[in-house]
């Protein structure tokens, strides 16, 4: 999984990465849903679709996710970044919304910076305790070829998406250098994104806000937990798991308990992630 790194002090990034322990994706995608599977090894991650077809019994789990509005995320904008970096970030978002980006910069005139936000953010999440109850005694099917990567000597970690952050909108504010008039071609932007009902609003001489809409909610961040398996493929644990031990301290023979995090972050720094093919 490749990553476009973001600043940890960014107001929007901080609440998503640090508060929710969520991984942000570069291309928002409606396929990323709770109970989807990610496999991970040596810093590489792949999205593998639904968990249920991987189980020996493909019956429903009998638990439902809860949906909530996240006003603390929807009300936050990213920090202001230079136009070049901002457009690099924005192209991934536009791809997720199914929108063109090739000619996008031509109508931005003297814009030098941009910020972005996701209005009307919703969180769809399973209660981890209820999810653990539903998975108790369930097995990953060793006969399913798609599950082969989680068995054997070079096995991948099996990660289960338990919650997603979604939005059907993205808001981008363009601004100019202080004291310089912003001459963004708002007519060109309206025409370029007319198919998705784009709204272009101006605020004084220095800000232009572009709001884009999707026909469906798109996942722009997700959280996941790790599933631990025995040799037969039975799901035996979900983090936190204090039975994991590592060597540490001055005495290398002395083991200390290492607590797994409640959620798995796929990178040690916040960023926009792209799936490995």
Beta pairing class for 44-50 and 66-69: unpaired
Long-range contacts of 131-138 (CB under 8 A, 24+ apart): 131/61, 131/63, 131/160, 131/162, 131/225, 131/238, 132/238, 133/63, 134/61, 134/62, 134/63, 135/61, 135/227, 135/235, 135/238, 136/235, 137/234, 137/235, 138/55, 138/56, 138/57, 138/234, 138/235
pTM assigned to the model = 0.85
The top-scoring range by mean pLDDT among 94-98, 131-135, 271-275 is 131-135
The three-state secondary structure class of 74 is: helix
DSSP state of 167: E
DSSP state of 139: B
**Measured between alpha carbons, how far is 32 from 94 in angstroms, rounded to an integer?**
17
- Domain spans in the chain, listed from the N-terminal domain onward: 2-274
Using alpha carbons, select from 65, 34, 70, 40 the residue that is nearest to residue 52. Answer: 34
Higher pLDDT pick, 177 / 229: 229
On the question of pLDDT at 247 being above 50, the answer is no
**Measured between alpha carbons, how far is 257 from 245 in angstroms, rounded to an integer?**
5
Cβ count near 201 (within 10 Å): 12
Mean of pLDDT values over 163-191: 85
Looking at residue 19, its pLDDT comes to: 85
């Amino acid at each position: 999984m490749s990553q476009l790194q973001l600043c940890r002090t960014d107001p929007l990034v901080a609440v998503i990465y640090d508060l929710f322990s969520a991984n942000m994706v570069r291309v928002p995608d409606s396929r990323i849903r709770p109970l989807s599977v990610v496999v991970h090894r040596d810093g590489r991650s792949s999205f593998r679709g639904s968990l249920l077809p991987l189980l020996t019994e493909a019956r429903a789990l009998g638990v439902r996710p809860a949906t909530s509005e996240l006003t603390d995320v929807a009300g936050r904008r990213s920090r202001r970044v230079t136009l070049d970096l901002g457009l690099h970030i924005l192209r991934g978002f536009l791809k997720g919304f199914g929108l063109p980006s090739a000619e996008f910069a031509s109508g931005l005139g003297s814009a030098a910076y941009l910020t972005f936000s996701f209005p009307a953010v919703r969180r769809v999440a399973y209660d981890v305790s209820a999810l653990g109850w539903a998975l108790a005694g369930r097995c990953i099917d060793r006969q399913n070829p798609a599950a082969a990567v989680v068995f054997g000597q070079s096995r991948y970690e099996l990660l289960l998406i338990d919650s997603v952050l979604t939005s059907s909108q993205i808001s981008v504010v363009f601004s100019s250098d202080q004291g310089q008039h912003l001459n963004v071609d708002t007519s060109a932007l309206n025409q370029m994104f007319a198919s998705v009902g784009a709204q272009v609003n101006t605020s004084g001489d220095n800000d232009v806000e572009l709001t884009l809409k999707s026909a469906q909610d798109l996942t722009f961040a997700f959280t996941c937990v790790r599933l631990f398996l025995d040799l037969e493929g039975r799901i035996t644990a979900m983090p936190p798991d204090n039975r994991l031990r590592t060597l540490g301290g001055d005495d290398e023979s002395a083991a200390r308990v290492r607590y797994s995090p409640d959620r798995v972050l796929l990178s040690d720094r916040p960023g926009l992630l792209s799936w490995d093919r």
